[in-house]
Amino acid sequence: MAFSINRAFQEGYTKVLGYDLYYKIFGPKENRSTILCLHGGPGMTHDYILPLSDLAVKGYRVVFYDQLGCGKSDLPRNSALFTVERAVEEVETFRTTMRLGKVDLFGSSWGGLLAIAYALRYQRNLSSLLLAGAYPNVPFALHEMERLKAKLPPKVRGVMRKLEERGDYENPKYIDAIKVFYQRHFCRLSRWPAEVNHSLDHLSKPVYFTMNGPNEFTIIGNTRYWDVSDQLSSIHVRTLVTGGKFDEMTPNVAKDIHRRIKGSKLVIFGKSAHLPFWEERQKYMETVAKFLGD
């Protein structure tokens, strides 16, 4: 598979809370600050957020890692390890083990939920918070996705409803139906980047099913009732909230975060769904670089 991001990087493994995690670093340690990037899923790999490595060219050190059970990192048999609380401690231990110091913390989708959860506990270790398609309130996010589903073609909705009632989420007809949703609200590019397909093809089902469920809008895992929206007012680090006009985590979700984090900046990308760092890549990187520079 030919990836579209081929600039030089360092890679390796580090021991975090008893397990080996794979990491990838762009830019030298001497760069002016470090951006630590958290991928989504839960259960995907870091590859689909690799466009953030563009910021290394602008003088930042950009660090990625595969979370426990994901990508090239260890996959433990004990699914009880896949919780938000442990994931927060994993971020903190990774930060200290890698000697990253204070970081600009980027989180995409579930990674945004994780970044928010981290900030609520360890914001003293952050220079800023960068959120892309994040959601602090799972029930509200589900409500918004149901609203988007209601706007799908009647035939697609009928197939989804019928097979959801059976719990037949692996049915090829159901998979074809959710592709219609994903093309509208996950990534609107006519041809998805190889890195995005790689992350989806290598989704860790043990992690995804334990924490999320069978798909994006059927959340029956242990994050089903996660809601820390009433705690967002305690976040005081500089925060950039981004999302796409057509995002499965709708502008309403982004606006709610922005409203609750005092002084945060909100940017909605008008041609994007859930992956504006791909769909409007240059504009997205300019937005983040300007925010960090300011």
| CA 117 – CA 134 distance, rounded (Å) | 11
Query: Does the residue 51 lie in any domain?
Result: yes
Question: Which member of 247, 258, 264, 272 is catalytic?
Answer: 247
In a domain, 5, yes or no: no
3 part of a folded domain: no
Is 185 contained in some domain? yes
Whether 109 is catalytic: yes
Beta bridge partners of residue 108, listed in sequence order = 132
Total number of domains in the chain: 1
Q: In this model, does residue 3 exceed pLDDT 80?
A: no
In a domain, 219, yes or no: yes
SS (H, E, C) the chain: CCCCCCCCCEEEEEEECCEEEEEEEECCCCCCEEEEEECCCCCCCHHHHHHHHHHHCCCEEEEEECCCCCCCCCCCCCHHHCCHHHHHHHHHHHHHHCCCCCEEEEEECHHHHHHHHHHHHHHHHEEEEEEECCCCEHHHHHHHHHHHHCCCCHHHHHHHHHHHHHCCCCCHHHHHHHHHHHHHHCCCCCCCCHHHHHHHHCCCHHHHHHHCCCECCECCCCCCCCECHHHHHHCCCEEEEEEECCCCCCHHHHHHHHHHCCCCEEEEECCCCCCHHHHCHHHHHHHHHHHHHC
274 annotated active-site: yes
Stronger pLDDT, 81 or 178, i.e. the higher one: 81
Q: Is 247 a catalytic residue?
A: yes
* Domain-located, residue 134: yes
Q: Which of 109, 128, 264, 272 is catalytic?
A: 109
The CATH number that applies at residue 55 is 3.40.50.1820
**Structural domain for 25, as ranges:** 10-293
Q: What is the pLDDT of residue 31?
A: 67
Question: Residue 236: inside a domain, yes or no?
Answer: yes
State the Cα–Cα distance between residues 271 and 108, nearest whole angstrom.
Answer: 17
Q: Quick check: is 1 in a domain?
A: no
Residues of the chain with pLDDT > 70, as a percent, come to 97
* pLDDT tens digits, one per residue of 156-213: 999 999 998 888 988 999 999 999 999 999 999 999 999 999 999 999 999 999 999 9
Residue range 102-150, pLDDT digits in tens: 999 999 999 999 999 999 999 999 999 999 999 999 999 999 999 999 9
109 Rama class: left (phi>0) / alpha (psi -120 to 50) / beta: left
Dist CA 12 CA 97 (whole Å)? 13
Spatial CB neighbours of 30, under 8 Å, sequence gap ≥ 6: none
